[in-house]
Structure 1
Amino acid sequence: MGDVAMTVPVLRALTEQHHNIRVTVVSRPLFKPFFKDLDRVDFFSIDVKKRHKGFQGLLRLFTDLRKLKVDYFADFHNVLRSRIVGTLFKLAGVKVATLDKGRAGRKALTKLENKVFEPLPTMFENHCKTLSKLGFTVSLENPKFPAQEKLVSELLPFTGEKNTKWIGIAPFAQYSSKVYPLDLMQNVIDTLAEREKSTILLFGGGEKEIALLNQLKRDNYNVIVMAGKVKLEAELNLIQHLDLMLSMDSGNAHMAAMLGVKVVTLWGATHPYAGFSPFNQPMCNCITADRDQYPLLPTSIFGNKEVEGYADVMRTIKPETVCEKIITILQQEN
C-alpha cells in the first residue's frame, strides 16, 4: 500500500508538467481511490487471483494492456511479474524503463559491519529517474496537493463535524521491528487526549489490530477507533481532514503525505535514509531510535530482519519526545 501511495505525488507532477500525455496505472483494485483526482490518469485493475494469475495470466495482462496502445511502459515496481510484462512490451517495440532499487546502496546502509550511514535517493527521486529514461523530466519542487473535499456523510456518525484539532494515529506496521511499543503508544495517546480541543483518530485493520486499538482508546472520550468502520475511499477523505498523522514507517504515513497532511513518523529497525520517508515532509518529523545506543541501526530496509539484542530499539524514543513534536507542529498552525 505504501509503495503505491508513493507513486501518487510523482504521477501528479508528471501530468501537471506534461500536458500531452495520459497515464494508465496498473495495480490492485483496492488502490484505485489513490488516483481518483489525478488529471488524465486512468486505472487498470489487475486480477491476480484469476485472470492475471501465474505466467499465463501475465500473458493475458500483456494482451489486455496492449489494447490500450501505450507508447511507454514504466516499471515502478521491479519485481519478477512486472519485469516479465515489461520484457513483453519491449519485444513489441514499446520503450520500457525499470525502477533502479539501488540494492548496493541499501546493502551498504544496513550491513552490520563497515556500515555506510548515508542517505540514499528517495523512492520519489527513483521514480522520477525511471520516467527520465523515457524522456520525461519531472520536478518535485513546489508540489501540489488535491483540494480538500467535504467530509463525507458516512464519517459523521463516528467523527461528527470537525471543531477540534484532529490527530490521526496509525500504530501498526507489517513487521514488529517497526511498531512502537504499545505501552509507550498508550502514554502518547493518553497525553494527547488530555489536550483541550483535540480528537485522536486511530487507524488500523484486521480483527487483532481493532482489538488492540480499542484497548488503546481506553475511556478517553475524544479517542475514536476508525479501523474497520469505513472503506478506503472514505478513510482517505477522513485523512485529508487531519491536522497531523502519527505513523510508523508504514502505508498510512504515505497516504497522509500524498494528500498534503503533516506527518510524524517513528522509526525502529528501519531508517528514513533508506529513501522511504513520507513525501514532502521535513526530516525533523522522522523520529528515529537512538543510534548511540544501537549503532548497527538501520538493520533492515523493510523491517523484516531481526538482529539479536535490537528488539527494544524503539524504546529509546520517549513518549514525551513524540508528544512534544506533535504539539509543536499543531501550535505552528495556529
Structure 2
Amino acid sequence: MAKNKTEMLAHTKHLLIIRLSAMGDVAMTVPVLRTVCAKYPQLKITVLTRAFFAPLFNDIDNVQVYPADVEGAHKGALGLFKLSKELKRLRIDAVADLHNVLRSNILKSFFRISGIPVVQINKGREEKKALTRASNKIFKQLKSTHQRYADVFENLGFPIDLSTHSFPEKPALTPEINTVIPTSSKKWLGIAPFAQYESKTYPFESIVKVIDSLNSSDRFDIFLFGGGKKEKDILNVIASKYNNTVIIAGRLSFENELRLIANLDGMLAMDSGNAHLAAMYGIPTLTIWGVTHPFTGFAPFGQPMEHALLPDVSRYDKIPTSIYGNKVPQGYENVMQTIHPKDVVDRIMKYI
C-alpha cells in the first residue's frame, strides 16, 4: 500500500487543498502556496474554501478556488458526500488537509475510499496544551502554522523552503479605492483594532490615545479596518475626531480592501485576521497581543519578534492562557493595559 501511495504521489499533477476557515488561517496558506507554485510550476492547485476568501489567491497563477457551501448545498454528511463527488470530477490526484477538523475529516474519508492519497496537518495539539496550561507550562516557541502547512506538502512529496518565498508586486489601486483614500504624501498606516475575543482587543481608550498621538504627528494617513455594524459604529466615533483618519470598514469590496492593504506602509493589528492579510503582502505588521502569544505559532508571516507588542508576561505568567484567546483566567481581564499607548506609538515610529 505504501508503495502504491508513493507511486501515486510521484504522478501528482492536481492537488486539492482544504482550508475552510477562519480568514486569518486561510490567509496564512497564501505565502505557502506561493512558494509551492514557484518551485513546482507544473502543479495545478485547487483550494477548497469559502467563496468570500477567493480574492486572497488572486496573485497565484496556478491556484483556483472551489467554493464550499457548508451552510447550504454542502451541509452535513450528505452535503459533504455531494461535495466530494463534485471535487472528484476535477481529477484530483492528492489532498492536503490544512484544516483537520470534523468536516474535513469526513470529506477526506470519501477521497480515501476512492484511493486518493490524503495528508493532514499536524496541529501540534500536545505541544500547544503544554504551552497554554496554567501549571508546569513549557514556555517555548512552537513551530509556525506556516511551517506546519509546509510540512503537509513535504509529506505529499513537494518539500519547500519558506525562506525562498517572494512577495508579489503591489497591485494597482482601482477607481473605487481612489474615491475613498485621501491624496497626500504621508505614509499609509492601517489600524485594525478588533479581534474575535475581547481578551485580544486593545482597550478602546488605549487605541484612541494611539490614534490621537499618530494624528498629531501628521506623518500618517490612518485607515481604519473592521467588520460588523458595532465595529463600524466604534470606528465612526474615532474617525469623527481626527482629520488624518479614514474609515475603510464597509466601504470597499473585499478584493479592493486587499488591494489597499497591499499598498500600505504599515499595519497595526491585534492577534487577528487583518494582521495576516497585511503580512501576506510583506507589509510591516505590528501586532498587539493579550492572553495569546506569538509562541503559539500564529505570528504573521515574516514578521520579526520586535513587531509584537506583549503584555507584562512576568506579571501575568499564565500567558498564553489559550491558543485562540477564549480562556481568560480570573485577574487576566486587563492584561493589555500593561501595554502603554506610548510604547505602541514608539514602535510604529521606529518600524513604519
- Is TM-score (shorter-chain normalized) higher than 0.5? yes
- In 1: Cα distance, 2:164 partner to 2:156 partner: 23
Aligned pairs for 1:71-150 (under 5 A) are 71-150=93-172
> Which aligned segments of 4 or more residues in structure 1 are displaced greater than 6 angstroms?
none
3-state SS, counterpart of residue 73 of structure 1: strand
Q: CA deviation at 1:162?
A: 5.2
C-alpha distance after superposition, 1:129-149 (max 9, x if no partner): 111111110110132112112
Q: What is the letter of the counterpart of residue 233 of structure 2? A: A
Aligned pairs for 1:150-189 (under 5 A) are 150-161=172-183, 163-189=185-211
Match of residue 312 from structure 1: 334
C-alpha distance after superposition, 1:256-302 (max 9, x if no partner): 01111110001001000000000011011011111111111110100
Aligned pairs for 1:243-282 (under 5 A) are 243-282=265-304
3-state SS, counterpart of residue 254 of structure 1: helix
Q: What is the letter of the counterpart of residue 213 of structure 2? A: T
Q: What is the letter of the counterpart of residue 219 of structure 1? A: K
RMSD: 0.9
Match of residue 235 from structure 2: 213
Q: Does 1:235 align with 2:257?
A: yes
Aligned pairs for 1:40-51 (under 5 A) are 40-51=62-73
3-state SS, counterpart of residue 148 of structure 1: coil
- In 2: Cα distance, 1:218 partner to 1:117 partner: 43
CA contact (8 A) 2:218 2:244 kept: no
Alignment TM-score, normalising by the size of structure 1: 0.97
3-state SS, counterpart of residue 65 of structure 2: strand
Q: CA deviation at 1:160?
A: 3.1
Q: What is the letter of the counterpart of residue 214 of structure 2? A: L
Q: CA deviation at 1:195?
A: 1.6
Stretches of structure 2 lacking an aligned partner (at least 5 in a row)? 1-22
- Identity of aligned pairs, percent? 44
Judge which range, 170-179 or 143-152, deviates more: 143-152
Alignment TM-score, normalising by the size of structure 2: 0.92
Judge which range, 120-129 or 85-94, deviates more: 85-94
3-state SS, counterpart of residue 199 of structure 1: strand
Q: What is the letter of the counterpart of residue 200 of structure 1? A: I
Q: Does 1:63 align with 2:63?
A: no
Aligned pairs for 1:293-308 (under 5 A) are 293-308=315-330
- In 2: Cα distance, 1:322 partner to 1:160 partner: 24
C-alpha distance after superposition, 1:177-218 (max 9, x if no partner): 000011000000011111224111000011100011112224
